[in-house]
Structure formats: C-alpha cells, structure tokens
Amino acid sequence: MPISSLSPPRSGLVLVKNPHLDLMEEDILYHLDLGTKTHNLPAMFGDIKFVCVGGSPNRMRAFAQFMHRELGLAGDGEDVADICAGSDRYAMYRAGPVLSISHGMGIPSISIMLHELIKLLHHAKCRDVTIIRIGTSGGLGIKAGSVVITDTAVDSSFQPRFEQVVLGDVVVRSTELDKDLAEELLACSREIPDFPTLIGHTMCTYDFYEGQGRLDGALCSFSSEKKLEYLRRAYDAGVRNIEMESTAFAALCGLCGLKAAVVCVTLLDRLEGDQIRASHEVLWEYQQRPQRLIAALIRKRLGLGPALLPAD
C-alpha cells in the first residue's frame, strides 16, 4: 500500500517530515548554494507563493523573464539574477512571488533539488505555496504540441506509485496530485485556444531510450511490434504522455503538504516515432505553451486578469 500523501497542513506551511532537522544548528542546502546561517531565507523567500520547476536552466530563466513581464514588474526583467549562481547544479530565478528553478533530467536530479527546495520553503516559513513542474514529454496518441495536465503520475507499469529504496528497503509512496489545481489549470487553458490542452495520466520512466520503449538508443532488446504493444497498453491505461520526473515530484511534494501539478508539452507522438525532428524554433515555441498556461493561472490567482503576451 503506498503511503498516502495528500493532507495539506491547515497552517499552509510547508512540512518537512524529518525530526533530525530540528537538532541541526545549521542547514546547508549544498546544491543550491544557500544555507540557514549564510542567508536570511525568510527575508529572501518568505513571500514566495508559486514555485515552477523544469529541466533546463535556460527554460527556467526565460520563464522568470516572462513572468516578470506578465506581472508588470519594474524594468524589462532581462537581467534576472541566478540566485544559485555559486552552484552549477541548478539555476534559480525569481519574479515577484514566483520562483523558477531548474531540476536537470531524471528522478535522482529532481529529487535532490526538491529535498533542498522544500527545506528552503520550510526555513523561509512560506505559506500556501503552489508548485508546478513545467516540462516536455513524449505524447501518446495526441498531436505534437499538445499540453498535458497530469491527473495521475504513474510508473512504467502504469501504477500510481513511486518506489524509493531507503536503507535497502523499497518504500512505496503515493503519486497523487492536486485534483482541484489540475481542474483550475484546465479552466485557464480555455483562455488559450492556440494549442490543445487535456488532462491525462503521465508515465514517468527512469530512462529516455529503452525505458520509454525507444528503438533508437545505443541498446535495444525488443522489436518494433513489442514497443507498439507496450505503448498501446499505456494508452489504454490512460497514459497520454511520458517523461522522467513526475512520480518523484508528486510523491515528495504531496508528503510535504505542497499543492502540486505537472504540466508538460508533448514534442512528438510516440505512436508515430522515436526521434524528435521538430526544428529548434518549433521546440522553443512548444516549451512556451506550459509557461503561458501557468502565467494565466498565476495572473488569475493574483487578480490580474487574462495573460498579456505570448512568451518569447
């Protein structure tokens, strides 16, 4: 039985479920190059309400610049500073109440970032934080460029669980995401008719090639027929896109009382092929689609009305 996660604390504070933290004089968030003694975390981050995470540092910088404009903040936002510049593992930017952070590729990378980010939000005494992963993915049976809002993150056997090995034992955690937030995002998508947005299951794998049933890796031990049979089974189980972080993201955020969503654009339809052939311009525009949807949600939550501009 997965440990159930969704019980956000009434205070709206971010929960850390680790008794050892209270005994530590100082907490060094090594991969973020931040710490409780070296930085005044409540002053730096206490007013953060939205955290957006995504694989690439450039995407997350562009998102912070875009949000700067969308929120009507002073200046053009072009010179946003990397708060984690002292570490070359992750990049972090802020635009008003929005924090934008890169997490690299795959579960181990996002997991390290999330442990430190969640402790950061806890030390900073942030309240009522919404966290959203804005990513890219491979679609299943849907048009390239579609945006999928995840209702359930599932593993490569289509189960809603995240397995973490702890002291040699497998601990199974729930991958529930916030249903109201997913519906709110879907409602916001109706303001942006330029691309299809849908709700579906997202399959999270440990690998981009064999792990996602690709025939074009350096290793491949299965036939084209077996690949398609697997992907069709995934489709029949409700999976509409495939990426590499959603189960760990849902499990960690859920256990720590964060309202979380996963919004990924699809770069191709995996029932039609494996290689990503779209041009850089097309891929850049695709990456902006989840950003535009999140901007619409943030503007609505802040009472700023519909989105102003397409991201550039």
Ligand X SMILES: O=P(O)(O)O[C@@H]1C[C@H](O)[C@@H](CO)O1
User: Which positions lie near ligand URA, rule CB under 6 A?
Assistant: 136-138, 208, 212, 242-244, 267
- Choosing among ligand X, ligand URA, none, which partner's interface includes residue 105 (Cβ < 5 to 8 Å by kind)? ligand X
- Choosing among ligand URA, ligand X, none, which partner's interface includes residue 56 (Cβ < 5 to 8 Å by kind)? ligand X
Residue 243 in the binding site for ligand X (CB under 6 A):
yes
Q: Which of 14, 105, 117, 17 is nearest to 59 (CA)?
A: 105
Q: Contacts with ligand X: how many residues (CB under 6 A)?
A: 11
DSSP 57: H
Return the beta strands (E) in 18-90 as ranges.
28-29, 34-35, 50-54
Residue 209 in the binding site for ligand X (CB under 6 A):
no
- Choosing among ligand URA, ligand X, none, which partner's interface includes residue 117 (Cβ < 5 to 8 Å by kind)? none
Nearest distance in Å: CB 139, ligand URA: 8
Residues 6+ away with beta carbon under 8 Å from 55: 102, 103, 104, 105, 135, 136, 245
Site string for ligand X, 102-141 (x = CB under 6 A): ---xx----------------------------xx-----
In which element (H, E) is residue 43 found? Answer: helix 41-45
> Does 136 carry a binding-site annotation?
yes
Nearest distance in Å: CB 114, ligand URA: 18
- Choosing among ligand X, ligand URA, none, which partner's interface includes residue 139 (Cβ < 5 to 8 Å by kind)? none
Three-state DSSP state, 6 = coil
**Dmax of the chain from CA atoms?**
57
Compute the distance between CA of residue 177 and CA of residue 95 in angstroms, rounded to an integer: 25
Residues 6+ away with beta carbon under 8 Å from 198: 142, 146, 147, 148, 149, 186, 240
Nearest distance in Å: CB 243, ligand X: 4
Tokens of 152: 């359930």
Q: Are strands 197-204 and 239-243 parallel, antiparallel or unpaired?
A: parallel
Window contacting ligand X (CB under 6 A); options: 185-193, 216-224, 243-251, 289-297? 243-251
Compute the distance between CA of residue 261 and CA of residue 5 in angstroms, rounded to an integer: 14
| Residue among 15 and 271 whose Cβ is closer to ligand URA | 271
Give the CB-nearest residue to ligand URA: 138
Tokens of 259: 């309202």
Residue 284 in the binding site for ligand X (CB under 6 A):
no
Binding residues for phosphate: 89, 133-136
Contacts with ligand X, residue ranges (CB under 6 A): 54-56, 105-106, 135-136, 208, 243-245
Annotated binding site for substrate: 212, 214
Name the binding residues: 89, 133-136, 212, 214
